[in-house]
Structure 1
Amino acid sequence: MNKPHKLPPQRQSQPGREHKMHPRPEVIREGYRGSGKLEHKVALITGGDSGIGRSIAVHYAREGASVCIVYLEEDKDAEDTREMVEKEGQECLIIPGNLAEEHFCREVVDQCISKFDRLDIVINNAAVQHARDEVAEISFEQLKETFETNIYPCFSIVREALPHLKEGASIINTTSVTAYRGSDHLLDYASTKGAIVSFTRALSKMLAKKKIRVNGVAPGPIWTPLIPATLDHVETFGKNTPLGRPGQPGEVAPAYVFLGCGDSSYITGQIIHINGGEIIGS
């Protein structure tokens, strides 16, 4: 894992499918042992069918949590994730649909509460990205899709979930290294990720009096289905990081465990950077 490596050429259409990737992403590190950090908790994870979201679901299950994952239409990936969670001895509810639709966000929370009768952790992780080299190449339709997928559901899911979140609950938002250093080919995506940083900081202040913590994770180049579905050339993806390689979802998800459990009880409004060593402003 720590050696630089070159990924084989591959390309997928949007949205990417994890079961078509080669090599398959590492979901959980060999030797990762759960210790009951999330025992009896229920977590709602958007974009939970694959990539970082899948890895979070499996880590949470190993730590004792039941999970509800939301995805667009990648049924096989979602079913695979459910099997992984159930193999860890936990329940997994999978819900397909478009988070850009406000009413669907309401249905997601309703189904989660109906199934588990509680909600302790909300993880806003779903995202889409399209690579474009020029501003003129970004259509209004693409801009609208990116914002409606990446940032709008953060508001909608949180609004619907809040009546069910009690003191000690945790909200975790997935932003990106691109929010801090920009990206010359992901202008609209980076813009939404910057909005998520601000959303996280503002919401943490709003909910501090309720003793609900709000934090974020900013991954760098991680090997997920977004990559072959976005980039024409994945062979050198991640090679420019100080560690010389892309990260794996299994190297990112433990941060969500930390932010979701009592170990981070005095942390709110913060972002954890997992990017292979790139030094960026906070």
Structure 2
Amino acid sequence: MAERQQHPGEQYPQPEFPQQDQPHPGTTERMEPRPDHGEETYRGSGRLEDRCTVITGGDSGIGRAVALAFAREGADVVFTHLPEEEQEARETVRLVEDAGRRAVAVPCDIREEQACRELIDRAVSEFGRIDVLVNNAAYQMSQPDSLEAITTEQFDRVMRTNLYALFWLSKMALPHIPAGGSIINTTSVQAYKPSPHLLDYATTKGAIVTFTQGLAAHLADRGIRVNAVAPGPVWTPLIPATLPDTAKFGEQSPLGRAAQPAEMAPAFVFLASQEASYITAEIVNATGGTPLP
């Protein structure tokens, strides 16, 4: 949340950024400029008081911003991270605990069905239920030669991270989500305007839109809402870790810059809150002005 009204294109750093490369999965500390997760600006108002939430990929980027916002809105948080992201995860834990809420960091690779099952079991053992499931974790790797350069290994990793895990976790969490609960998925502008160099990633993001809308119809009579957020370019560690050119990242947006993770979190809070009680099967587009269907 902004401290004051201002031109949205000028609210955060604009390209050009210093050129930077990191090995996957990337770290926040090495990014320039440093991403904003809402550490100094997000102010909660009790909209998720005592909710029990699960967030995949909560160690950095959009996931960290959502974890912080959920905690400041009164929610406890279980979140996943890759084993090599332990240092990043500790910072998310600190932010949630500083907000006075419980944080449980779970190192796991959600490409494996058993890891997803153990995650849900851990969340239920910690909290007894799951009020909000956020399927946020994703993998991408730019391939300038598009289809010809995408290996079966890469395609499999993208599919299992972005789609299989979403399917497994939604199915496994469902018995523990009460009426009034919700599932929120992270899709992307890539679902509607696919970049050839991210062909496999964009394919999964389009599938997430379809999955979200179909599952929402299936669960409406149970009182469980299913929605998604479609970000445009967002400045997270995934960017220097997977794209070859970061200097002008986000410049193509009508607002002329990439979003910060802090700018995505309010959409997730709204969709998780009771204020969104009549909203299901919706895709909230946060693209910086790129028109989408």
State TM-score, norm by structure 2. Answer: 0.94
The Cα of 1:29 is off from its aligned counterpart by 6.7
Aligned to 2:89: 78
Aligned to 1:40: 50
| 1:88 is aligned to 2:95 | no
What letter corresponds to residue 2 of structure 1 in structure 2?
A: G
The Cα of 1:227 is off from its aligned counterpart by 0.3
| 1:145 is aligned to 2:152 | no
| 1:16 is aligned to 2:26 | yes
| 1:230 is aligned to 2:236 | no
Match of residue 280, structure 2, among 262, 268, 276? 268
What letter corresponds to residue 130 of structure 2 in structure 1?
A: L
Identity %: 49
What letter corresponds to residue 54 of structure 2 in structure 1?
A: L
What CA distance in whole angstroms lies between the structure 2 residues aligned with 1:24 and 1:18?
A: 7
SS, match of residue 264 in structure 2: helix
What letter corresponds to residue 256 of structure 1 in structure 2?
A: F
What CA distance in whole angstroms lies between the structure 1 residues aligned with 2:59 and 2:273?
A: 22
| 1:158 is aligned to 2:165 | no
What CA distance in whole angstroms lies between the structure 2 residues aligned with 1:29 and 1:18?
A: 14
What letter corresponds to residue 86 of structure 2 in structure 1?
A: D
Match of residue 171, structure 1, among 179, 183, 187? 183
| 1:256 is aligned to 2:268 | yes
Match of residue 120, structure 1, among 104, 123, 131? 131
The Cα of 1:2 is off from its aligned counterpart by 3.1
* Cα pair 1:48 1:70 within 8 Å, conserved: yes
CA deviation string 1:108-151 (max 9, x = no partner): 01111111122100000000101012211000010000000001
> Which shows bigger deviation, 225-234 or 215-224?
225-234
What letter corresponds to residue 139 of structure 2 in structure 1?
A: V
What letter corresponds to residue 183 of structure 1 in structure 2?
A: S
* Cα pair 2:142 2:244 within 8 Å, conserved: no
SS, match of residue 43 in structure 2: coil
CA deviation string 1:203-246 (max 9, x = no partner): 00111110100000000000001100011221100011111010
Aligned to 2:226: 214
List alignment gaps of at least 5 residues for structure 2. 1-7
* Cα pair 1:29 1:251 within 8 Å, conserved: no
What CA distance in whole angstroms lies between the structure 2 residues aligned with 1:176 and 1:27?
A: 19
What CA distance in whole angstroms lies between the structure 2 residues aligned with 1:72 and 1:200?
A: 25
After superposition, the Cα gap between the structure-2 partners of 1:18 and 1:29, relative to the gap in structure 1 and judged at 3 Å, is closer
Aligned to 1:7: 17
> Which shows bigger deviation, 175-184 or 28-37?
28-37
What CA distance in whole angstroms lies between the structure 2 residues aligned with 1:279 and 1:30?
A: 30
What CA distance in whole angstroms lies between the structure 1 residues aligned with 2:78 and 2:120?
A: 9
Count of equivalent residues: 281
The Cα of 1:94 is off from its aligned counterpart by 0.4
* Cα pair 1:72 1:96 within 8 Å, conserved: yes
State TM-score, norm by structure 1. Answer: 0.97
What letter corresponds to residue 202 of structure 2 in structure 1?
A: A
The Cα of 1:20 is off from its aligned counterpart by 2.0
Match of residue 132, structure 1, among 139, 143, 146? 143
List alignment gaps of at least 5 residues for structure 1. none
* Cα pair 2:15 2:250 within 8 Å, conserved: no
> Which shows bigger deviation, 146-155 or 11-20?
11-20
CA deviation string 1:137-193 (max 9, x = no partner): 000010000000001011100111111111000100000000001111100000000
